[in-house]
Structure 1
Amino acid sequence: MTMQEQAWADALRRERAGDASRYAGFLKEYSAVLRRIVRGRLASAGLDAQEAEDIVQEVLLAIHQRRDQWDDSRPLLPWLGAISRYKTIDAMRRRASERRMRIGLSDREWANLFAAQGEPAVGSPARIEEMVSALPRVEQSVVRKLGMEGMSPREAAQATGMKEGTVRVAFHRGLARLLKLALGGGS
């Protein structure tokens, strides 16, 4: 057992005895190590390394929720590694799946999404409002901010408190649903 592992194991044991400050120190140290690992894995998988912080937080939450399941007579690193590995793999799979679902249209194609040869494809502004109102709350908000108010993804992220990547995904999903509605396919 390395000195680092011993210190972390001691921090978890002390947390069980009520010493939250040592546990907080462990989480901070482990998150720094985990962050480097996750960024590397994301980059090697062709995913955005900026999403590493979300994955790190998912892993830390899982460790925190399962901390009582660690058998303190056994080494800590294999236990941490298993949780970290599985949570990271799950998160990477979700992100890769989300990336495949994104719609790749140019800015011009997005702008012309509901117009065909100068004629509105979906009818009146009231019909557009009705369709946007049928979207899930987050997608509705993002579509309004980006598509109707003309905000950039960064501005919409700041206005909604979401991450910019989340805004982009919600926008793409919202537009995909709007397209289905416009073509009569429901939501």
Structure 2
Amino acid sequence: MRASEQQLRLWMIGGLEGDANAHAMLLRALVPLLQSFYRRRMSGRPDDIEDLVQETLMAVHVRRATYDRDRPFTGWLFAVARYKMIDHFRRSRIHCTVEDVADILVSEGFEDAVSARMDVDRLLADLPPKQADAIRGTHVDGNSIADHARRMGIGESDVKISVHRGLKALAARIKGPN
């Protein structure tokens, strides 16, 4: 499960205050976020993605004093990531169109999408694994019921029932007590 914005921010602040364990936890938690960020923008360049992740982790470590504790952490993180990508394009002399640069700078709501994904992961974490997996596979990842059933080695009706029960449980939790 991915860490929330709040948890990332707490680890960052802990690291700034000298907690080496919090700083290490932060850096570990950033790897999948950065991989996703770069994978979305660097299709067909897996080696570059891993290099960029490592460069960004180093920049987070070296430039951590520039983080404003009163601002969201992921906004600062993705700004660092965008600058690292632009530097990489310059060094590699990779040809970019105006649209590519605009996508990198604007980031197409990536930060909001990551935050929403963390919220969904947190909600699904409280469901039984089978229900959470069925919802994630069909509603979050966009697979058909047939594809998800085939991938999991279960029947389509089993997927439908799991999704239905999981969504019903989530709705009840969100609605709260009457």
State the TM bucket, normalised to the shorter chain: 0.3 to 0.5
> Could you state the TM-score of these two structures normalised by the residue count of structure 2?
0.48
**Greater RCO, CA 8 A, separation 6+:** 2
Query: Highest CA radius of gyration, 1 or 2?
Result: 1
Would you tell me which structure has more helix in proportion to its own residues? Answer: 2
